[in-house]
A and B are shown apart, each in its own frame.
Chain A
Amino acid sequence: MTQTGTRAVAPPPAAGPMVTAENLTRTYIKGAERINAIDGVNLTVAPGEFLAINGPSGSGKTTLLFALAGLIRPTSGTVRVAGVEVSSQSPAATARFRAEHIGFIFQTFYLVPYLTAAENVMLAQTASGSGADAAAAGELLSRIGLGERLRHKPSELSAGEQQRVAFARAVVNRPPLLLGDEPTGNLDQKRGREILELIADYNRGGGTVILVTHSDTVTEFASRRIDLVDGRIMGG
């Protein structure tokens, strides 16, 4: 059903590293206490790579992912995605860059509840500036097995279906980089595996994938795994 569903949306590999993080640190200050959520992270991810970042809760996985996506500004260090330094861009410029270059899926799906499955996908299309394309959104959803669910709202979809819609929203603009924050965390093993199949398919099509996870299942699909402990990379 989903084995070859998203290959066509994956972009061709870019030249050079897809992601480079150099000495990346993000510090939070709580009263007198300084907490380094990520602490001097150096990371390079090649185009077409599937990287799994493992680590316990509070290890800084989500912070690292958000920093790579330009959703948070690092306290120090730099992040480059497809050759562009996102860590120093303005929020608006980062948003525009993200719309075209980075797809994002979350553990809790974050679908807009009053929009249909197709409209949730079109929401990402409008962000890229290409405009909403209902046909393309519908076609993509059909390819991942949701052809009958285009007009359904999130509340009318199962958790697995919602995550598939979220996946479609993440890849509809053909971004070269897909980031996932525990994308299987709210799914049972079967549905989680289906999502991972989709992501792997996207990766086989040339897309670069970085997922943060607790799950060992994810690492089965990944081409590389690193562990993050207390904001530092311990392996990989």
Chain B
Amino acid sequence: MWTRIIFKELWRRKWGFLFSVVAVSAAAAVLVLVVTVSASMQQAFRGATLATKQNLMVVSADADPQKFYRGDLGSATMPESVMDQLTDRSRVVQITMEPKYRADVEHMEVMKIDDPRYVNREPVPRNVYYYPVPDLGSHFQAEFQTVATITLGGRTFDGALLTGQREEEGRRTPSPGGENREAGGEKREGGEKGEGGGEKKQLVTPAPPGHAALGKAIAQALGAKVGDTIEAASRQPAATRTFKIASIKPAAGTMDDVRVYAALDDVQKMLNAPGRINRVMILSCKCDQLLTSQIADVFQASLNMNPGGQADPVRARVLMFKDIADARDRVRNVSDKIVGVMTPTVAAICVLLIGGYFYFNVRERQQEIGVMLAVGHTPAPIILILLAKLLMVALLGALIGGVGGIYVARAMRAPLNLRALVEPWDQWWQLLVGALGVAALASVWPLLVAGRTRAADILRNS
């Protein structure tokens, strides 16, 4: 009976209902359009950045870092050829992110510069940040690095980079230093994917527990040789900070020459920070300003090393990348602002439209409400049938507006495909929750009017 009442009343006042649905749809479509175009602009810039082959990789935030390399995750978001280029490069610019921003991580980006003139002068991180990233088995992230003083037989090397590397699970550790891609820059061989196409070699080979692999510069300064035991300066017990030299790396002319590679667990124990990882080599976050400035700083530092700045193709590429990154950042900021203004504006318009429509609908139905009260209905079912219509307006409006907004965005040649828009279900949930929120706000005053209806007043005045 209630369904019949709802739909018959709706049919009787169909034009008002249609008008309100169309109005809400238009408002929702505008919102979806703004969000969509904004997202498409950002995506377009991401694509443009990728197209520069500047080794910028974007991976979704919920990607499992452990699969990043082994599982070809990268191929899902970028061409395999670019992935190959990325992993074949010998240098990685590493950007350290403060822990407070970690929650904001939205995308992960790997940025590399393949010109050793810049990489060689990579600034040494002076601050050590600890990231509680549990259970990371990937060598790619499970890294722990600090600046340490290494001693051997009374000699010291101040400012060594003590780098803990985690051995990949289920994989036998090769001899230390034998396959350090980061330091050696060897080309990846064709068969590296291994069985099932999932396995690839690690970028850096960890040292076995209790052992260390020394960079050439440190080894030379200390006069170290394989089999010696070095000690790192630390407040922890001596047993946790002594390492037997397993290998000495060949000179690379990079920061690797001042690195000491050890097992991740050993380094963490030495610094009394078990389970903590300090370096993020894959990152991006909503905190654009911070990252942009950090990226800019890194590039600036690189550029400063080449003050002449003449016709240098590498520098030109770096500048291009920086320009793109800046432009992307500006686009994101502008679009975020537009969305930030449009969302409450559209919500307010919807509240007014739905609320106004609902209010006049309640006023129109006062006599009906009075009769229902007179024949013995309580206010509860009356309010429910009023709310049902309101919800239909809100949900239909959100649905039609959502689909319409996407359609218009496509018609405007926004560089997004429908699947990419429909698949992020959280957007639809947000729209749904938004519609319900708008409906709830819009219903307050009309429902108060309906709830306060006194049958006697209505029936007497009529």
Contacts and interface: CB of A to CB of B under 8 A. Distances in A.
A113 B376 contact: no
A70 B211 CA distance: 91
A115 B371 contact: no
B5 A99 contact: no
B375 A132 contact: no
A125 to B, nearest CB: 8
Interface residues of B, number: 28
A65 B8 CA distance: 32
Interface stretch (A41-49, A90-98, A198-206): A90-98
A196 interface: no
A112 B374 contact: no
Given A62-B460, A106-B459, A122-B1, A98 B376 contact: yes
Interface residues of A, number: 36
B373 interface: yes
A119 B376 contact: no
A105 to B, nearest CB: 10
Interface in A138-195: 169-170, 173, 181
Contact of A104 (B4, B367, B374, B378): B374
Contacts of B379: 91-92
Nearest to B370: A110
B460 A110 contact: no
Contacts of A111: 371
Nearest to A95: B378
A234 interface: no
Contacts of A126: 1-2, 377, 381
Nearest to A131: B1
Interface string B373-402: 111111111000000000000000000000
B377 A127 contact: yes
Contacts, number: 81
A96 B377 CA distance: 7
B100 interface: no
B342 interface: no
B368 A66 contact: no
A69 interface: yes
Contact of A110 (B374, B378, B454): B374
Given A66-B456, A95-B376, A128-B376, A112 B368 contact: yes
Contacts of A226: none
A96 B378 contact: yes
Given A95-B373, A95-B377, A126-B1, A114 B459 contact: no
A14 interface: no
A71 B456 contact: yes
Given A95-B377, A96-B378, A112 B1 contact: no
B367 A66 contact: no
A66 B460 contact: yes
B233 interface: no
A74 to B, nearest CB: 12
B9 interface: yes
Nearest to B373: A95
A115 to B, nearest CB: 6
Contacts of A106: 374, 459
Given A66-B456, A114-B11, A127 B376 contact: yes
Interface string A56-93: 00000010001001011000000000000000000110
Interface in B339-380: 367-368, 370-380
Candidate in B1, B12, B374 with the most chain A CB atoms within 10 angstroms: B374
A227 interface: no
Candidate in A66, A97, A119, A122 with the most chain B CB atoms within 10 angstroms: A66
Contacts of B380: 92
A104 B8 contact: no
A39 interface: no
A99 to B, nearest CB: 2
Contacts of A169: 375
Nearest to B381: A126
B347 to A, nearest CB: 32
Candidate in A91, A97, A170 with the most chain B CB atoms within 10 angstroms: A91
Contacts of B371: 110-112
A95 to B, nearest CB: 5
A115 B381 CA distance: 17
B376 A92 contact: no
Interface string B451-462: 000111001101
B387 to A, nearest CB: 17
A114 B9 CA distance: 6
A23 interface: no
Interface string B1-17: 11011001101100000
A234 to B, nearest CB: 22
5 contacts: A66-B460, A95-B376, A106-B374, A110-B370, A113-B12
Given A66-B456, A66-B459, A92-B379, 6 more contacts: A92-B380, A110-B462, A114-B12, A126-B381, A127-B376, A131-B1
Interface of A: 62, 66, 69, 71-72, 91-92, 95-100, 102, 104, 106, 108, 110-115, 119, 122-124, 126-128, 131-132, 169-170, 173, 181
The 4 closest A-B pairs by CB, nearest first: A99-B376, A127-B376, A114-B12, A132-B1
